[in-house]
Amino acid sequence: MNRSQRAALHKRSWLLAATALALASQPDVLFAGPLPNPVGLSLGWQDCRALGGAGVDNQLFGCSSEINDLPLYPAFVLDAPVDSVISLELVIDVDVAAAELPAWWRMDPGQCRMNGWSADALSPSSCNDPWQGTGVAGFQGWLAGTPGGSARHGRLLVAAAAAPGTFVTLDAEAAYGVARVLLRSNLTLTCAGCSTPACLVFNSVLIRRLPGSSVETLTISSPEAAGLERVRWQGGSGADCQAVPTRRSTWGAVKSLYR
């Protein structure tokens, strides 16, 4: 399936409906034994960076437009095949070079740029599409003040899933894009702080398998290579990537991607 066909699939009207999932009670099972390189997470602007992909680690933006969507591609590589995969749930943490998140980074409900994030299942050219053109992805939440209760932190939650009633097998040592995450520029001229540098850290991805599988969830929380899970916004000067170190993360609840 070519890129235009995948784009057409994406335009189908998927409705997001709220439903609670008790993820806290689900075990996070890490891969057993040592992980051979390259295995782990990566993050890139414009394209994915897994296995030498064409993405870049810094995004500069002039803050004069309100119509740009700036694509961010979280990706991962496995050390062994994983079958029966039905969804992927990711966590990206942000630290800004300021005492607190400026208005431009306040994308939580009721704040200045509450529609500043979006996501879809379009894959970058440098990575494989885990859903083979039939998946769906969606923005799940932006948590200001998380992690650690710091006013300069924010946490992004995104989920991607196979088509209803289907599942996929992920191969070993292949680069997979979780989703296309879009940092939008809406209300840039109204909400101050677009030029504030930031560091974004792809914290973890949870791979969810069919219910009843011997292991229902797998969590990856290590980078493919040192620093590859991090990108910068506006050069990143003054932002502290170490303030949001990679670690195991779980969600309390997510939204359903389907009706």
Query: What's the pLDDT tens digit per position in 193-229?
Result: 999 999 999 999 999 999 999 999 999 999 999 999 9
**Structural domain count of the chain:** 1
| N-terminal to C-terminal alpha carbon distance within the chain | 25
User: Which pTM does this prediction carry?
Assistant: 0.82
Q: Is 22 inside any structural domain?
A: no
Please report, in tens digits, the pLDDT of each residue of the chain (259 residues total). 444 433 333 333 332 222 222 222 233 333 333 434 468 999 999 999 999 999 999 999 999 999 999 999 999 999 999 999 999 999 999 999 999 999 999 999 999 999 999 999 998 889 999 999 999 999 999 999 999 899 999 999 999 999 999 999 999 999 999 999 999 999 999 999 999 999 999 999 999 999 999 999 999 999 999 999 999 999 999 998 887 655 444 444 345 454 3
Q: Is 18 inside any structural domain?
A: no
CA 159 to chain centroid, in Å, comes to 8
Q: Is 227 inside any structural domain?
A: yes
Burial 34-71 (b: 16+ CB within 10 A, else e): ebeebbbbbbbbbbbbbbebebebebeeebeeeeeeeb
Q: Is 17 inside any structural domain?
A: no
Q: Is 25 inside any structural domain?
A: no
- For residues 144 and 146, give the distance between their C-alpha atoms in angstroms, rounded to a whole number: 6
Of 95, 77, 107, 71, nearest to 205 by C-alpha is 77
Angle at 182 between CA 176 and CA 188, to 5 degrees: 160
Angle at 7 between CA 230 and CA 223, to 5 degrees: 20
Residues 117 and 107: beta-carbon distance below 8 Å: yes
Token pair 């879809």 is at which residue? Answer: 120
Question: What pLDDT is recorded for position 245?
Answer: 53
Q: Is 55 inside any structural domain?
A: yes
245: which 2 tokens? 């170190």
How many residues are recorded in the chain? Answer: 259
Q: Is 226 inside any structural domain?
A: yes
Of 207, 199, 167, nearest to 77 by C-alpha is 207
Q: In terms of residue numbers, what domain contains 142?
A: 37-243
Q: Is 26 inside any structural domain?
A: no
